[in-house]
Amino acid sequence: MRLTRRVRHAGVALLASSALVLSACSGGGSDKDTFRIAYNGDGGHKEWADATANQIKNTLGIDASGQSYATFDDLRTDITERTIETSFRTGWQPDYPSIYNYLAPLYGTDAGSNDGDYSSEEFDDLMEQVSAAQDDATAYALQDQAQEVLLGDLPAIPLWYQNNSGAASLNVENVAFTWQNLPDFASITKPAGGPVLAYGGQPQNPLIPTATNENLGGRVIDNLWEGLVRYETDGTAVNAAAESITSEDNVTWTVKIKPGLTFSDGQPINAESFVKAWNYGAVGSNAQLNSYFFYPIKGFDEAQADEAESLEGLTVVDDQTFTIELNQPEASFPDRLGYSAFFPLPASAWDDLEAFGRNPIGNGPYKMAGPDAWQDDVEIALVPNENYQGDVQVANEGLTFKFYADSSDPAYTDLQAGNLDVMEQVPASALSTYETDDKVQAFNSPGSVFQSITIPMDAPHFEGEEGQLRRQAISMAINREEICDKIFNGSRTPATEFSSPVMPGYNGEIPGNEVLEYNPEKAKELWAEADKISKWEN
């Protein structure tokens, strides 16, 4: 059975190494209902996908098994075009350090990355209140209420949080990992000299800030650019290109850019550098994957509908000043301005934006090593930007992202041999041994990646009351702790809500989260109740 839904472009980054699919459809032309956990075969997910399927099968007594997509791109194409015949599990890494960034992009009605097409007026209203909250305590309380709604509806079934289980070669020193589970690349030193060799992969889109919403391209962009604000290793937002970002009412914000800043080729950074880039990103016909991030700004709906060529809320005041008028008060709005969608573009980018996406010019601590720095399916080479005027101190001679099809054994083997210097996630095959491996430096700490199963709201047997009962049953049929311990060797933590323990305002005791606990008897009971509404044919 093929599920066809409207097409939207996604809003923020999905982890290419962690997406998979779960099927709830009739297969093979028979009347038998099946439950397939499909996964991208290039991502190293077979072991845990099969284990999860077996738990569901054994608890609920239904046909459940793993199913492989050849590549992550194949999987994402079906999801984005709404032609996928199954449900799916995705990984989510926040773009700025806020629980709001886990909730609104994934579950807000028509939000850019709401791949399951969930819609709840109650949830949407709470998200609007979170945006308008004037203090953290109020925002945190409202976020908890929004998560209560999600725990009741389960548009996604939380699985676990991915720890920062990274490793480095013995060739480098001063390795640390950020709140985003990525190495703090600029701080890494390499005593023998040469560029730091980092795990990477072929970007899926041009290296344009508003066009890149996936992890592999995003890590390159984040080192080539710096925004109005930047994030410290722990996620604290501090001013970067902005001298000040102020407001008297939290609706109209005045941005003053630090004087004398330039892009890596010497072009000046001014108010137009930001405003023109943001306007381009917001206009619907430009099909920018990060367009969703401009929704708080006045005129976004008109720009998205191609009824306007720019955002009404953006105004250039003078060369170093512009204003941002929002649709409603948002006290924490400046905190999100460190995300890549809000980066500036130089005037020369508009001469040939396609060519610019292959050899971009940013204002960050690194720059492209040359016109051929991006070698498809091989690497992207960066060198320190001598014109960078920010606070990040680059402690190495350069940064080269080596491309791997996935994060499995080849990359780790290269790490052990010193042919790769750092990777943020070791493969499953090494999880039980990497912390005692004398050939690598090991790191294991809480991370920000949240992983879940998303079942489309209109999937057969998963609509309305029947669907709610089945979602709850599936959730309670999964023994998260067992999988985290036995499959992931303690490199995952069972989820208790929809964000991450490292986020400000995290609450592991939200009412209703017992639905995330392993409870096989309750799972069977709920499944039986659903069968009274519409029988699942085993």
Assess whether 231 and 285 both reside in one domain: yes
Separation of alpha carbons 499 and 448, rounded Å: 8
Assess whether 340 and 375 both reside in one domain: no
Domain presence at residue 6: no
Does residue 282 contact residue 295 with C-beta atoms inside 8 Å? no
Instruction: Tell me which H or E stretch contains 28.
Output: none
Assess whether 52 and 75 both reside in one domain: yes
Q: Which of 229, 286, 204 is nearest to 13 (CA)?
A: 204
> What is the structure's pLDDT at 43?
76
Does residue 164 contact residue 444 with C-beta atoms inside 8 Å? yes
> What is the structure's pLDDT at 407?
65
Domain presence at residue 417: yes
Domain presence at residue 4: no
Which residue is it, tokens 């060739």?
A: 171
What pTM does this model have? 0.77
Domain count, the chain: 3
Residue 242 makes CB contacts below 8 A (sequence gap 6+) with 228, 229, 255, 256, 257, 258, 337
Question: Is 338 strand, coil or helix?
Answer: helix
Separation of alpha carbons 125 and 149, rounded Å: 11
Separation of alpha carbons 64 and 56, rounded Å: 7
Domain presence at residue 472: yes
CATH number at residue 479: 3.10.105
Domain presence at residue 8: no
Assess whether 346 and 374 both reside in one domain: no
Residue 531 makes CB contacts below 8 A (sequence gap 6+) with none
Does residue 24 contact residue 35 with C-beta atoms inside 8 Å? yes
Separation of alpha carbons 324 and 247, rounded Å: 10
Residue 14 makes CB contacts below 8 A (sequence gap 6+) with 76, 90, 91, 92, 113, 213, 214, 215
Bridge partner residues of 229 (DSSP):
239
Assess whether 37 and 105 both reside in one domain: yes
CATH number at residue 411: 3.40.190.10
Bridge partner residues of 198 (DSSP):
401, 422
Structure tokens at 125: 């209203």
Within 10 Å of residue 305's Cβ, how many Cβ atoms? 11
Assess whether 388 and 344 both reside in one domain: no
Backbone Cα Rg of the chain: 23
Domain presence at residue 214: yes
Looking at 408, 439, 470, the residue that finishes a domain is: 439
Does residue 197 contact residue 400 with C-beta atoms inside 8 Å? yes
Assess whether 85 and 113 both reside in one domain: yes
Which residue is it, tokens 């007026």?
A: 121
Instruction: Tell me which H or E stretch contains 265.
Output: none
Assess whether 284 and 240 both reside in one domain: yes
| CA angle (177 as vertex; 369, 131 as ends), nearest 5 | 100
> What is the structure's pLDDT at 30?
53
Does residue 526 contact residue 519 with C-beta atoms inside 8 Å? no
Separation of alpha carbons 304 and 227, rounded Å: 23
Does residue 128 contact residue 146 with C-beta atoms inside 8 Å? no
Instruction: Tell me which H or E stretch contains 537.
Output: none
Question: Is 271 strand, coil or helix?
Answer: helix
pLDDT digits 0-9 by tens, 137-184: 999 999 999 999 999 999 999 999 988 889 999 999 999 999 888 999
CATH number at residue 318: 3.90.76.10
Assess whether 320 and 389 both reside in one domain: no
pLDDT digits 0-9 by tens, 264-277: 999 999 999 999 99
Assess whether 228 and 253 both reside in one domain: yes
Domain presence at residue 189: yes
Looking at 394, 414, 439, the residue that finishes a domain is: 439
- Per-residue pLDDT of the chain (538 residues), as tens digits, is 222 222 223 333 344 433 344 445 444 445 688 888 777 888 778 888 889 989 999 999 999 988 788 888 888 888 888 887 777 877 888 888 889 989 998 999 988 789 889 999 999 999 989 988 888 899 999 999 999 999 999 999 999 998 888 999 999 999 999 988 899 999 999 999 999 999 999 999 999 999 988 889 999 999 999 999 999 988 889 999 999 999 999 999 999 999 999 999 999 999 999 999 999 999 999 999 999 899 899 999 999 999 999 999 999 999 999 999 999 888 889 999 999 999 999 999 999 999 999 999 999 999 999 999 999 999 999 999 999 999 999 999 999 999 998 767 899 999 999 999 999 989 888 988 999 999 999 998 888 999 998 888 988 999 999 999 999 999 999 999 999 999 988 889 999 999 999 898 999 999 999 999 999 999 999 999 999 999 999 8
Separation of alpha carbons 116 and 125, rounded Å: 19
Q: Which of 237, 251, 385 is nearest to 329 (CA)?
A: 251
In the chain, what is the greatest distance between 2 CA atoms, to the nearest angstrom?
70
Q: Structural domain of residue 430, as residue ranges?
A: 170-201+365-439
> What is the structure's pLDDT at 248?
93
Kindly report the length of the chain. Answer: 538
Within 10 Å of residue 95's Cβ, how many Cβ atoms? 24
Helices (H) and strands (E) in the chain, counts: 13, 19
Assess whether 121 and 44 both reside in one domain: yes
> What is the structure's pLDDT at 86?
75
Separation of alpha carbons 410 and 242, rounded Å: 42
Assess whether 293 and 381 both reside in one domain: no
Residue 43 makes CB contacts below 8 A (sequence gap 6+) with 16, 17, 18, 19, 20, 72, 406, 407
Separation of alpha carbons 103 and 113, rounded Å: 10
Separation of alpha carbons 77 and 21, rounded Å: 12
Domain presence at residue 15: no
Separation of alpha carbons 311 and 142, rounded Å: 29
DSSP class of residue 267 equals P
Determine phi and psi for 482, rounding to 5 degrees: -65, -45
Looking at 305, 327, 360, the residue that finishes a domain is: 360
